[in-house]
């Protein structure tokens, strides 16, 4: 039996892989529902990125299919079983703080900087090239392989709803959209909207607007409030300066007559690990909680400060829960929309292990936050777990160990990957241990060499599972 030098095969295709990846990254594929149409259900950008990925597949001789500009697949081989690979071409909004153009891939000190470089265009293209190598080597396979591409992974998964309504899912598979050595457990994911009532009573300060957050799965990196007050604004500014100094955040303060505007800056991060960031919105509310607002503003500010600030496990809202295998629940308030005459809402993203459920969490929260109505948002994802004894999981871990010399072990995350869509599914790479996790952050990057390392591991392990 011929031994395949997977490292050599990847090395000979490095420049092609990088060129294709850069081409894909240059497409701004942020979900754009404001400009969505029947032709482009989640916006033109994600659809154009899907077209480009499928174009790669057609160029390389695969069978491809586009499902209504929402999802698509690239197929190879034949067999009674189908092995699946699930990636996505959509990316989270850019946000502030970039040092380079987020859609012009730039390599600095061996790091590829761009939105989507690590989540998920870089890992997805590493997995695609792994399959491309297997095809080009004309290796015998006993299973069909279906590489599925989504356009709405970052918010809602409508792409996979559409895909599964039209196509049969593979029997087992993985998503290259997390970290090594493996993710075989994923917490449940649910978002909750708090709707606050109108209250005309007055206070020392009138809350006009309070806004923060750009996505339900991102801790807000900045928050802005506009308010009207007859209080001494110099004293308020001094109090803010003391607060930011004590709490390691920063803020801008502007007073124009009785109108005061404050913008507070924290640190944006992925909601699955809220402690990696600094929630600007809850910090701003915590500072403002020292003042007496008008009735509706008071309820909004106090609820945020009392129940949502500095509480990543949900103890203050009564939803805390822990499972021995899957770990602790996490809670993060990520979208704040308040206008004096309009909506007054907060969206809370919760990642929960087995042993609780979305309805129970809503009941627990409602019992505590009495000034708002708690609504479970659509798109709840239940916890998912594939045993570490599963042959696929074993193959992935053994291959990982072979190329890294590191011990493979099972992990559960709070993030949601497409791996949970397979009955036997997991996420496998491509963030290596010891690397900084900058997914969903400004200046997102992936170490260039890690893209190629991942492609080697993917090629070897995929072939073992389909040969």
3-state secondary structure of 394: helix
Q: Are strands 172-175 and 82-88 parallel, antiparallel or unpaired?
A: parallel
- C-alpha distances in Å from residue 416, one per residue of 121, 166, 201, 219, 270: 16, 22, 42, 16, 11
Of 20, 90, 120, 226, which one is the catalytic site residue?
A: 90
Given the residues 9, 28, 119, 153, select the one marked as catalytic.
153
Is 153 annotated in the active site?
Answer: yes
* Rounded Cα–Cα distance for residues 286 and 333 (Å): 13
Strands of the sheet with 185-186, listed across from one edge: 384-385, 185-186, 412-413
Q: How many other β-carbons are positioned within 10 Å of the β-carbon of residue 247? A: 16
**Tokens at residue 139, please?**
């290796």
Active site residue 90: yes
Q: What is the DSSP letter of 279?
A: -
Q: List, in order, residues 6 or more apart from 322 with CB less than 8 Å away.
A: 328, 329, 353
For 280, list phi and psi in degrees, rounded to 5: -65, -35
What SS3 state is found at 370? coil
The Cα–Cα gap between 393 and 85 comes to 14
Q: Which residues, including other chains, have CB under 8 Å from residue 37's CB and lie 6 or more apart?
A: none
Strands 218-219 and 412-413: unpaired
Take residue 466 and report the two structure tokens written for it.
């389909």
366-397 residues labelled b (16+ CB within 10 A) or e (exposed): beebebbebeeeeebbebbbbebeeebbebbb
Residue 341 three-state SS? coil
Residues identified as active-site = 90, 153
């Amino acid at each position: 039996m011929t031994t395949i030098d997977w490292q050599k095969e990847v090395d000979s295709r490095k420049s092609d892989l990088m060129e294709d990846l850069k081409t894909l990254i240059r497409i701004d594929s942020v979900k754009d529902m404001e400009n969505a149409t029947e032709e482009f259900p989640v916006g033109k950008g994600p659809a154009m990125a899907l077209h480009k990925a499928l174009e790669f597949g057609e160029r390389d001789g695969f069978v491809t299919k586009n499902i209504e500009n929402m999802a698509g697949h690239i197929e190879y081989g034949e067999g009674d079983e189908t092995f699946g690979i699930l990636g996505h071409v959509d990316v989270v909004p850019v946000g502030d703080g970039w040092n380079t153009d987020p859609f012009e891939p730039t390599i600095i000190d061996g790091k590829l900087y761009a939105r989507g470089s690590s989540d998920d265009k870089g890992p997805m293209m590493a997995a695609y090239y792994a399959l491309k190598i297997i095809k080009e080597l004309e290796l015998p396979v006993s299973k069909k392989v279906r590489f599925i591409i989504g356009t709405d992974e970052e918010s809602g998964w409508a792409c996979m709803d559409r895909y599964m309504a039209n196509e049969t899912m593979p029997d087992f598979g993985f998503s290259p959209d997390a970290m090594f050595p493996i993710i075989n457990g994923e917490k449940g994911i649910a978002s909750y909207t708090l709707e606050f009532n109108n209250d005309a009573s007055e206070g020392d300060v009138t809350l006009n607007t309070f806004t923060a957050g750009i996505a339900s799965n991102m801790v807000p990196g900045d928050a802005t409030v506009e308010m009207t007050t007859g209080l001494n604004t110099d004293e308020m500014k001094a109090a803010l300066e003391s607060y930011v100094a004590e709490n390691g955040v920063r803020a801008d303060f502007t007073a124009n007559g009785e109108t005061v505007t404050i913008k507070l800056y924290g640190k944006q991060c992925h909601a699955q690990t809220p402690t990696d960031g600094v929630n600007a919105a809850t910090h701003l509310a915590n500072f403002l909680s020292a003042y007496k607002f008008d009735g509706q503003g008071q309820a909004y500010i106090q609820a945020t400060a009392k129940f949502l600030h500095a509480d990543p496990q949900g103890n203050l809202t009564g939803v805390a829960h822990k499972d021995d295998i899957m770990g602790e629940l996490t809670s993060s308030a990520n979208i704040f929309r308040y206008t004096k005459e309009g909506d007054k809402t907060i969206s809370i993203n919760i990642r929960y292990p087995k042993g609780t459920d979305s309805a129970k969490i809503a009941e627990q929260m409602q019992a505590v936050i009495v000034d708002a109505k708690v609504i479970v948002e659509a798109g709840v994802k239940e916890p998912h777990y594939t045993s570490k004894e599963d042959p696929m999981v074993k193959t992935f871990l053994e291959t990982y160990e072979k190329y890294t010399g590191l011990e493979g072990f099972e992990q559960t995350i709070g993030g949601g990957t497409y791996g949970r869509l397979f009955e036997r599914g997991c996420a496998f790479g491509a963030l290596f241990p010891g690397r900084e996790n900058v997914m969903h952050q400004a200046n997102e990057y992936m170490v260039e060499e890690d893209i190629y390392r991942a492609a080697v591991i993917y090629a070897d392990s995929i072939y073992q599972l389909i040969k």
